Structure 1
Amino acid sequence: MNLANRITIARITLIPLFMLCFYSYSNVVNSGHAPIWTTTSYVLTVFLFVLAAGTDKLDGYVARKYNQITNLGKLLDPLADKLLISAALIMMAEAGMVPGWMAFIIIGREFAITALRMAASGRGIALAADQFGKIKMVLQVIAITAVLLHNFPFSLITTFPVDQTLLVAATFVTLLSGCNYIIRNLSYFKN
């Protein structure tokens, strides 16, 4: 197993750790006692999410730079992204931090596109991700991080909910990127 694939597997193993920390984090948030940014669970939860999301760029960079692109990596990399985003959104929706309909749209889009890719793969067609999909992923990570941070540091200068605005933007871009992906690849499914 090459380095790029090891990084991707490490990202997948960070997801259960993030989830475990999130339970403690959400208890602190819901208790309303101490400022949440002073708690270990808060710092650790945000750190693990950002670390897991950040390794997405690292494994891609390593795979391209050292010519370590493999079929396993092509399978695991997008799976790791979907697992991380889905786990975060489901847990945040359960904690009341994210509206359920937004989580449903984002996760639903991921499942729909994955199903299309699998159907195309069964026909011997490889459907590549496009720039719109990559922008979507970056915006999702930024929005989820902002919500996890409870609008910090924006809350220091404004009462405007930047975190929720970013989440709405991520949902909208996710929906648009899914529609774009389907339209762009529709010709493969006409027969």
Structure 2
Amino acid sequence: MFNLPNTITLIRIAAVPFLFILLASPGEFWSLVLAIIFVAASITDLVDGYIARKYQLVTTMGKFLDPIADKLIVNTAMILMIPLGRIPAWIVAITIMRDLVVDGVRSISSSEGLFIQASRLGKKKTLAQIIAVTALLIHYPIFGVDAHLVGTIILYIAFVLTIYSGANYFIKFYRRVGK
């Protein structure tokens, strides 16, 4: 139950309160610190999955916690940036609704004995969200680049991937269960 990959996932979840604390601290320095913590937490997603697969440490708990950790950290960061004016509330709302629908579809599929794996499109969506959120957390110009503008552009790309991958999951679900 508790193994290295699951512990890494739990550490990623434990990073969430730092979003609250550091987003309340204005300024370029704390924004950069927060972005670094966010990226580190996001990278652990790759690490825990790699370790779990390579050393055959995949567990039911890990399969349950890993996607929750991903959504928790990304969605919490997006929610907290709404009152700061860094991200539109409608994008966050639709993103969270998509996540709930996809989780519901995967849950129903699982109860029917079918497993709908995370798609490459869904993984691209997550990567785009992580890059967008990182840039929006930095917010200030860095190395002559307007981080907020870059983050906003990538956020809209992530949003398109969010809608498209959500529809893709639903279509897969319908083809398998809806017949």
The amino acid that maps onto 2:128 is L
Q: How does 1:136-155 map to 2 (within 5 A)?
A: 136-150=125-139, 152-153=141-142
Q: How does 1:95-134 map to 2 (within 5 A)?
A: 95-134=84-123
Which structure has the larger Rg over C-alpha atoms? 1
**2:32–2:137: 8 Å Cα contact kept in structure 1?**
no
C-alpha distance 159-110 of structure 1, shift in aligned 2 (>3 A): closer
Aligned partners of 1:167 and 1:94: how far apart in 2? 17
**1:5–1:72: 8 Å Cα contact kept in structure 2?**
yes
C-alpha distance 188-151 of structure 1, shift in aligned 2 (>3 A): farther
Aligned partners of 2:33 and 2:147: how far apart in 1? 25
Q: Report the aligned-residue RMSD.
A: 1.9
**1:117–1:127: 8 Å Cα contact kept in structure 2?**
yes
Aligned partners of 1:65 and 1:159: how far apart in 2? 36
| Matched residue, 2:76 | 87
**2:82–2:88: 8 Å Cα contact kept in structure 1?**
yes
**So what's the TM-score if we normalise by structure 1?**
0.86
1:64 positional shift: 1.2
CA displacement 1:80-114 (0-9 Å, x = unmatched): 00111110111011221100111112111111101
Aligned partners of 1:158 and 1:185: how far apart in 2? 40
C-alpha distance 14-188 of structure 1, shift in aligned 2 (>3 A): same
| Matched residue, 1:14 | 15
Aligned partners of 1:2 and 1:176: how far apart in 2? 34
The amino acid that maps onto 1:163 is G
**So what's the TM-score if we normalise by structure 2?**
0.91
Q: How does 1:57-72 map to 2 (within 5 A)?
A: 57-72=46-61
The amino acid that maps onto 1:188 is R
Whether 2:171 is the aligned partner of 1:183: answer yes
Aligned partners of 1:157 and 1:139: how far apart in 2? 18
For structure 2, list consecutive stretches of 5 or more residues without a partner in the other structure: none
| Matched residue, 1:31 | none
1:124 positional shift: 2.4
For structure 1, list consecutive stretches of 5 or more residues without a partner in the other structure: 29-35
Aligned partners of 1:186 and 1:132: how far apart in 2? 18
1:115 positional shift: 0.9
1:158 positional shift: 6.7
The share of aligned pairs that are identical, in percent, is 36
The amino acid that maps onto 2:16 is I
1:57 positional shift: 0.5
Higher relative contact order (CA 8 A, sep 6+): 2
Q: How does 1:149-168 map to 2 (within 5 A)?
A: 149-150=138-139, 152-153=141-142, 156=144, 161-168=149-156
C-alpha distance 83-160 of structure 1, shift in aligned 2 (>3 A): closer
